[in-house]
Every structure is written in structure tokens, then in C-alpha cells.
Amino acid sequence: MLQSWVLEVQDFTLLGARSISSFFRRPLYLRETFQQMDIVGVGSLSISCLTAFFTGAVLALQTSNTLSSFGAVGYTGQLVAVSLVRELGPVLTAVVVAGRVGSGIASELGSMLIGEQINAMRSLGTDPIKKLVTPRVVACTTMVPVLTVIADLVGIMGGFFVATIFLGISPSLFLTSAYDRLDYSDLVQGLAKPPIFGFLIAIVGCHRGLGTYGGTEGVGRSTTQSVVTSMILIFISNFFITRILLTIL
């Protein structure tokens, strides 16, 4: 059991290293990279915004209910903005991308492996890591931060909507509270995590897909394992990244 776990970690690490090193070698496969960026970014935009909007709305409801007992309802905007930018925005966006894109990567590569398409690439002299893995890693690493920024803004707007319509908080008070509280360290924490999350999602999806066995049943198994593993790694890495950034900042 321990030996198989160590081998899994080794294969995962080697795949990540090879995908990074392949990025600096020709051919670049720009068409595949931009295609994957469209799948990750545009394809996940609507569900990321929907998730962020209602997360911000629920945050406004919950925080205002608690703050009202202290007579500090005016701090609702501050708490919504800081919570989304620091933690909820990056984590929820990464979870959405892991469920939608990570599973798709695993199933796609798993189907190609079962269908002998990857072996055909090797026989023609094409590096599967360079053509299949690197574009997906680049796409996830670059697009997850973009989705996170948009999700943060939409989430704050969700909190703004609830605060002004249902809670009777002044729009200027909400926005001023949110703007004044956000500082450099909050933005650093919120933007340092998404590239790492995106890299983990892509590598896990590719690793599970390229390790598929057992026919069509194995494709389903790899897809499930990809989503579960990605989410676990997102939560674990989020803790350590937060701890490191709080120590530095």
C-alpha cells in the first residue's frame, strides 16, 4: 500500500516536471493551448459566476444577521469582500473548475488511451506529454486566476444586491466598507492561490487520464478519482499556502 502510494506521488511529480519542461521546447502547439484556454475559461465562466454570486449573497445574509447583534451591520461589505477575495473566491472557483474541467481532462485522455490513440501518437514520433498535457496545464494555470478575479467581483455584487435590496444597507456604505478594507496583502493572498490550484487540477486530470485501465469502466473510475483527488489537494494546498502567506505578509 505504501509502495503504491509512493509510486503514485513519484509519477505525479514527474508528469508535472515534464509538462513544465515541455513548455520551453518546440513545437509549441499554440492552437491546442488556446483551444484549452477557451474550454477552461469561457466554458467555466457562467457556472463560476453563478456560484460566486449566490455565495456572496449568502455571506451578506449570514454576516449581517450576526453583526446586527453588535450594531455593526455597516461592516457587512467589508466581511463579504475580504472573505471572497482571500478564501472563498479562489477555492470555490478551483472546485468548480475541478468538477467541470478536471473530470473532462481525465475522461478525454482516458478514452484516448483506451482507444490506442496515444500509442499511435508515439509511433508517429509525437510526444503525448507535449501535445496533450502541456496545453491543458498552461490553460488551467492561466485561466483559473482570471476566473477567480471575475468570480470575486460577481460575488461582491451578489453581496451588494442582498445588502441593498433585502437588508436596507446604503449602497455607498457597502462599497466604501468593502473598498477601504481590502489592501495589498488581501490581493496577494487571493491571486497567489489560483495558479497553483489550476496547475494541480490539470496535472491530476492528466495523471488520472493517462493512468486509465480496464476499458470504459476504467474511464469512469479515472474521472471520479480525478475530481476527488483535485478537491482534496485544493483544500490541503490552500491551508499551507495561506499559512505561508500569512507568515510572509
Cα separation, 92 vs 98, in Å, equals 10
For residue 196, give the H/E element and its range.
helix 184-210
Give me the pLDDT at residue 63, please. 84
Contact 41, 147 (CB under 8 A): yes
Helix (H, G, I), strand (E, B) or coil at 121: helix
Residue that the C-alpha cell 493512468 belongs to: 211
Q: What is the mean pLDDT of each run of 10 residues along the chain (249 residues)?
A: 79 88 85 93 93 93 80 82 92 94 92 88 87 94 96 94 87 85 85 95 93 85 93 95 89
Task: Kindly give the interhelix angle for 171-181 and 134-165, rounded to the nearest 10 degrees.
Answer: 140
Cα separation, 237 vs 246, in Å, equals 14
Give me the pLDDT at residue 27, please. 83
Give me the pLDDT at residue 225, please. 92
Contact 98, 231 (CB under 8 A): yes
Give me the pLDDT at residue 1, please. 66
Predicted TM-score of the model (pTM): 0.92
Give me the pLDDT at residue 139, please. 95
Q: How far, CA to CA in Å, does 195 sit from each of 26, 74, 94, 198, 209?
A: 23, 33, 10, 5, 21
User: What's 167's DSSP letter?
Assistant: S
For residue 172, count CB atoms less than 10 angstroms from its CB and return exposed for 0-12, middle for 13-18, buried for 19 or more: exposed
Give me the pLDDT at residue 154, please. 95
